[in-house]
Amino acid sequence: MPSHCVVDIDTAPFKGSIKLNTGLFIDGQWVDPVDSKEMIDVINPSTGKTISQVSLGSSKDVNIAVKAAKMAYKTSWGLKCPGATRGRLLTRLADLIERDIDEFAALEALNAGKPFHIAKAQDMAGVIQWIRYFGGWADKIQGNTIETSEQKLAYTRHEPYGVVGQIIPWNFPMLMLAWKVGPALATGNCIVFKPSEMTPLSALKFADLVNEAGFPPGVVNLVNGYGTTVGQAISEHMDIAKVAFTGSTLVGRKILEASARTNLKVVTLELGGKSPTIIFDDCNLEQTVKWASLAMYSNMGQACVAGSRIFVQEGIYPQFMEKFTAIVRDLGRATGDPFSSTTRHGPQVSKVQFDRIMGYIESGKESGATVHLGGARHGTEGFFIQPTIFTDCTPDMKIVKEEIFGPVAAILKFKTEEEVIEAANATVYGLSSCIFSENISRALRVAHAIESGSAFVNSAQTVESSVPFGGFKQSGIGREHGEYALATYTQVKGVHVNLGMMI
């Protein structure tokens, strides 16, 4: 019998037990890996202690999952299932997630270190919104009739790929899952997905709800495992027609290489970022410092869109630093137990991530930057890092050039609009940007000039289910959200119907 665990949480605001299957979810059933008895330890980043263990899948399990997905696509999903039915099932799935929102938020807090109240009000609310949004699209996947001549009818069909692979990151386990599963199912694809081996617990609960919602067996399949085994198997599988991945640029390159070596599967990638936050001296300073803090330290800095390069026009630099420092200092005081109602800053997700971020902090010190605030471990247990501000930064420093993926901001001064545009674009990344100015003409001019897939004017990280999201340059390929996401999960067929006589 597949293994399961019971997660006991005895901390307000969530007190209770959550039973989870810890095997692999394939063809609508929980199963054990075919040839491995090994397990993956799942760690609580607040304590560094093991929460549970989950099964370790392999390429053989991916093969079985793909076969189940292929059969489901041919017999009960895809073009066999009306869009209205797919939409009802997605809506039902969203309803079930909403019913169990406290359990999901508790798992995100326990396994990913997110403050419970934030996980519930933001992450899980977003999950429900995204799945409902794409449920509404499911019966609206349509092509066009194209005029050619009186002797021909020409039209297009937007057809699903069939079996798609999805590789989910650890920083927003459920939200990233929803971003991918929603459009894939709405368009009629079947899925084989791998949650992060570090944060699999909420995905395991999600798989149970797939059955409860009434999806046919094989439409959604989950294989736990490591990127070097399960992730690679998904990337190389000849019967997977498309792969969607969110994660590092390095791994994104490997997935593209795997596609080139195998069946040229379509690949969409949402990768790293080193996003600029540009603050002009005519901004609303009281609002700007709040947004800049959110852009940088949301999710403990573990966000690809983190505004980690903060460019401040020199005329307001002293005032900005005073107010920004006060906000970040308060955030540091609100660091602690993710289940506390006063916590706004939790731990980094793992010891590996903790060590990596601390290495960047040391690099900043060695390169001559000044630790204006933070720069050290918080407490003695778990993987907590103080929200950190570096000043006296220069463009050649690693902390300015490379993605840290932690709560470390680099502050740089600038004089002119032209100067800051050039500096902001001097990066291999191009995922997001924030521009703060009360001069809307300048704000829009700069937003258009920055080489990034998203630009937030006088705000930060306010993504929408209906607005496309993705990267320029080495921040990715393709788009998530909105009608643009549907295009990445369908392929267009042109149909030519002869209405005249043969010539």
Instruction: Say what the pLDDT of residue 118 is.
Output: 97
Q: Which helix (H) or strand (E) holds 106?
A: helix 101-112
pLDDT per residue as tens digits for the range 17-70: 999 999 999 999 999 999 878 999 999 999 999 999 999 999 999 999 999 999
Q: Which residues pair with 147 in a beta bridge?
A: none
Backbone torsions φ then ψ of 48, nearest 5 degrees: 80, 5
CATH 3.40.605.10 fits 58-271+478-491, yes or no: yes
Scanning the structure block, which residue is given the tokens 């599963």? 181
Instruction: Say what the pLDDT of residue 2 is.
Output: 60
What span, in angstroms and rounded, lies between the C-alpha atoms of 475 and 252?
A: 9
Q: Which amino acid belongs to residue 354? A: F
pLDDT per residue as tens digits for the range 432-486: 999 999 999 999 999 999 999 999 999 999 999 999 999 999 999 999 999 999 9
Mean pLDDT across 375-380: 96
Instruction: Say what the pLDDT of residue 37 is.
Output: 84
SS3 299: helix
Give 170's Cβ-side CA count (13 Å radius): 27
What span, in angstroms and rounded, lies between the C-alpha atoms of 26 and 219?
A: 9
For a pLDDT cut of 90, what percent of the chain falls above it? 95
Alpha helices (H) along 388-468: 398-401, 417-424, 440-449
Q: Which helix (H) or strand (E) holds 493?
A: strand 490-498
Q: Are 440 and 421 in contact (CB under 8 A)?
A: no
pLDDT per residue as tens digits for the range 385-397: 999 999 999 999 9
- Is pLDDT of 285 > 80? yes
Backbone torsions φ then ψ of 335, nearest 5 degrees: -90, 135
Domain extent listing, the chain:
58-271+478-491, 276-464
Q: What is the mean pLDDT of the chain?
A: 96
Give how far the C-alpha of residue 311 lies from the chain's centroid of Cα atoms, to the nearest Å: 25
Tokens of 208: 């149970």
Mean pLDDT across 289-296: 98
- Is pLDDT of 167 > 60? yes
Instruction: Say what the pLDDT of residue 184 is.
Output: 98
Instruction: Say what the pLDDT of residue 503 is.
Output: 66
pLDDT per residue as tens digits for the range 125-136: 999 999 999 999
Instruction: Say what the pLDDT of residue 16 is.
Output: 87
Specify whether the backbone of 191 is left (phi greater than 0), alpha (psi in -120 to 50) or beta: beta
Backbone torsions φ then ψ of 255, nearest 5 degrees: -70, -40
Between 3 and 353, where is the model more confident? Answer: 353
Name the CATH topology of 276-464: Aldehyde Dehydrogenase; Chain A, domain 2 (3.40.309)
Instruction: Say what the pLDDT of residue 387 is.
Output: 98
- Is pLDDT of 296 > 60? yes
3-state helix, strand, coil in the chain (%, to 5): 40, 25, 35
pLDDT per residue as tens digits for the range 301-339: 999 999 999 999 999 999 999 999 999 999 999 999 999
Least confident range of 4-8, 174-178, 296-300: 4-8
CA distances from 133 to 87, 94, 300 (A): 9, 10, 28
- Is pLDDT of 1 > 80? no
pLDDT confidence bin for 8, thresholds 50/70/90? confident
Q: Which residues pair with 156 in a beta bridge?
A: 494
Neighbours of 58 (CB within 10 A): 19
Instruction: Say what the pLDDT of residue 497 is.
Output: 96
Specify whether the backbone of 408 is left (phi greater than 0), alpha (psi in -120 to 50) or beta: beta
* Residues catalogued as catalytic: 270
CA distances from 75 to 61, 69, 79, 106, 142 (A): 21, 10, 9, 37, 22
- pTM, 2 dp: 0.96
Neighbours of 364 (CB within 10 A): 24
Mean pLDDT across 256-274: 97
Q: Which amino acid belongs to residue 60? A: K
- The angle at the Cα of 469, spanning 460 to 354, to the nearest 5 degrees, equals 65
Backbone torsions φ then ψ of 155, nearest 5 degrees: -150, 165
pLDDT per residue as tens digits for the range 75-121: 999 989 999 999 999 999 999 999 999 999 999 999 999 999 999 99
Nearest alpha carbon to residue 273 among 434, 126, 436? 434
For a pLDDT cut of 70, what percent of the chain falls above it? 99
What span, in angstroms and rounded, lies between the C-alpha atoms of 40 and 305?
A: 29
Per-residue DSSP letter, 238: T
Q: Which residues pair with 26 in a beta bridge?
A: 29
pLDDT confidence bin for 140, thresholds 50/70/90? very high
- The angle at the Cα of 128, spanning 118 to 307, to the nearest 5 degrees, equals 45
